[in-house]
Chains A and B, each alone.
Chain A
């Protein structure tokens, strides 16, 4: 069964550094999403992406964050100048249509030191 894959599974970075989290969505999906989940808290929406542009973003997704689909398969989340509070699990998801079920990757655990 097709799945969303994310790399790396765990990223440890010094505060102030930039990180790039990578995702390969399911191949025939057109809608892509990033979520984060701080330990013990709920899953929070960051951004949705369709047709090579951002469809919607939350208040969390400020200028520190950016997304890109550099080629036909990858979907990346870049966090510039990381902060301690960026430590969380980051999930990528994709769906075939906008309001259809989203399928999640296994996540990247980001630890900021």
Chain B
């Protein structure tokens, strides 16, 4: 069983602050890591993906991967109320034939 663990939250941050979302996983064979955003009643929307150890930045978002410690995180700088959503961590193994999702972390950005 490939577990993907996320703190369900809710996580509340004030507008303009940095939101930090964390995810740990159990399978060391995991190769590719993804962060999706899901608004209530909507489908998952890709935010970031990362394959190598280290940081990857895209606008206000930074994904961090540490395969030795088996965690991946997402930082959201200058958080906006529109960032309020559930953030899903997902990974795939070397076959790439399926994604394993965490339960998601609910983020609320307070104006």
Contacts and interface: CB of A to CB of B under 8 A. Distances in A.
Interface string B68-107: 0000000000000000000010101011111111111000
A102 B98 CA distance: 10
A42 B104 contact: yes
B98 A97 contact: no
A111 B76 CA distance: 36
B43 A104 contact: yes
Nearest to B103: A42
Given A99-B31, A99-B32, A99-B92, A45 B99 contact: yes
A68 B102 CA distance: 28
Contact of A97 (B96, B99, B101): B96
Interface size class of B (residues with CB under 8 A): 20 to 34
Interface string B49-80: 10000000000000000000000000000000
Nearest to A42: B103
Contacts of B98: 33, 45, 48, 56, 58
Contact of B100 (A45, A97, A101, A106): A45
A31 B36 CA distance: 19
Interface string A86-112: 000001000001111111111100000
Nearest to B49: A101
A41 B86 CA distance: 12
Contact of B97 (A56, A100, A101): A56
B101 A103 contact: no
Contact of B43 (A50, A56, A100, A106): A106
Contacts of B32: 99-100
8 contacts: A31-B96, A31-B97, A45-B99, A45-B100, A56-B95, A56-B97, A91-B44, A99-B94
Interface of B: 31-32, 34, 36, 42-46, 49, 88, 90, 92, 94-104
